[in-house]
Structure 1
Amino acid sequence: MDNDVSAGSTSASASTLGHLALGLTLLAFGLGHTGVFDGITAASAATVAMFVGGITLFVAGLLEFRGGDSFNGTAFVGLGAFWFTWGAASGDTALSGDAAGLFLLLWALLALSLTLGAAGGGLLPQVMYGLLFVSLLLLGIAQFAELGTLAKVAGWVAALSGLLAWYGATAAWAKWPTALPGRAAGRGVTATG
């Protein structure tokens, strides 16, 4: 291994790894809640959540902290803790719906903080974390109220957030755009021929 790797390139790699892990975990978690695939439930995503979402995100977060990126470090370590805990608890049949709802609502607060903190990083991460917040909020409410339909909607929102995370990581490698095109310089500006 090259000891001359700069902190910046380590952080860029860790960021890509973190967003890929988050994207894959959110896709598995979200699609599991939608019921779109026969025999696949949210509990089916527990292993992915523990190892890809939990451990991989946690390690990527530590690498982000090492590289000097406190926002992605906090996001990945925090979400890694969430996914590992959710994956470990999803097999616990003694967990009540109210306890699961409270767990999801508390972690929705982290997602809300990440949404607000991503404001300076562009629209893609802000929308991605915003969708994660909405999905956790809806899932928490669905657990409290025992609303399977709301849980399915939340699953689609989580899957969409996962697609955005995956796109952001893939775009970094492929040099695809991650920002929406800007509008003209100001009010009243017209194109002339």
Structure 2
Amino acid sequence: MSDMEKGQSSQSATVNATPPAQAAYNGQHGFTPISHTPRPTGIGNPGALGLFSFASTTFMLSLYNVGAHGVSTPNVIVGMALFTGGLAQLLAGMWEFPRGNQFGGTAFVSYGAFWMSYATILIPSSGIATAYATKQELDNAIGIYLEIWFVFTSLLLIGAIRRNITFILLLFFLALTFLILGVGSFTGSASVNRAGGALGIITAWIAYYAGVSELLVREESYWMPPLGALPRRLD
């Protein structure tokens, strides 16, 4: 989700022009249009941190949703959701904004907030779950919560169109995951929840792949993961 060229010192970025190498990199990897001029900053690329944190937390919860090793109670996710999916992503997003990456900052901060809010639901002392008179009412409330994140992710997906194929697939499968898990919460269907978990696993591995692309530095790596560059508007 970063729009800065890997391996290039941020101090060398200018305010008046985007170097050709930067433009080529943005076309393949970044969320920011080619015409965007990076802001001079000493902040390193937080994209790998945000993507790996998101992927690991999503992968863990999705394994619980498919019933891996007989686990049906997801509360171990609380610490992971608060500090890895939550705090680490929140920090990654806040570091994206001063780098001029509005899309990446919005995505990381929002999903960091999602994981923090989801963890809060599972904390018994929060009183959120016990506030509902019946399990069905709680399930319906969680279903609404998940469908709202489906709507938000769908809007991000619109913003990702024409950026690169990997991030389009990431947001598409994430939106589908939220949709199916929401339906599973409404219906109480274990099979639907497992399907949502399977989609979440796919989403997590796409995020891991994208995270590797942000971690590697072009000048220091023998191979860069192709993300599927798409043609850009020239006007």
Q: Please indicate the TM-score interval, normalised by the length of the shorter structure.
A: 0.7 to 0.9
Write the distance in 2 (CA, Å) between the matches of 1:24 and 1:50. 13
- Per-residue CA deviations over 1:12-69 (Å, capped at 9, x if unaligned) read 6211111111111111121111102233643332221111111111111000011110
Cα deviation, residue 167, structure 1: 1.0
Instruction: Point out the structure with the larger helix share.
Output: 1
CA shift in 2, pair 1:109/1:177, >3 Å: same
Is the contact between residue 97 and residue 146 of structure 1 (CA under 8 Å) also seen in structure 2?
A: yes
TM-score normalized with structure 2 length: 0.70
Please state if 1:66 is matched with 2:98. yes
- 8 Å CA contact retained: 1:114, 1:129: yes
1:83 aligned to which of 104, 115, 121: 115
Q: Which residue of 2 aligns with 1:123?
A: 165
Indicate the RMSD between aligned Cα atoms, in angstroms. 2.2
Tell me the TM-score normalized by structure 1. 0.84
What residue identity is the alignment partner of 1:56? Answer: A
* Aligned equivalents of 2:156, 2:229: Cα separation in 1: 24
Separation (CA, whole Å) in 2 of partners of 1:72 and 1:38: 36
Residue number in structure 2 paired with 1:93: 129
Aligned sequence identity (%) = 23
Contact 1:18 1:56 in 2 (8 A): yes
Partner of 1:35 in structure 2? 67
Q: How does 1:1-193 map to 2 (within 5 A)?
A: 6=11, 13-39=45-71, 41-91=73-123, 92-94=128-130, 96-174=138-216, 175-180=223-228
How far apart in 2 are the matches of 1:131 and 1:10?
34
Aligned-pair CA distance for 1:8: 6.7
Structure 1 gaps, min length 5? 183-193
Q: How far apart are residue 5 of structure 1 and its match?
A: 5.2
* Whole-angstrom distance in 1 between the partners of 2:184 and 2:42: 40
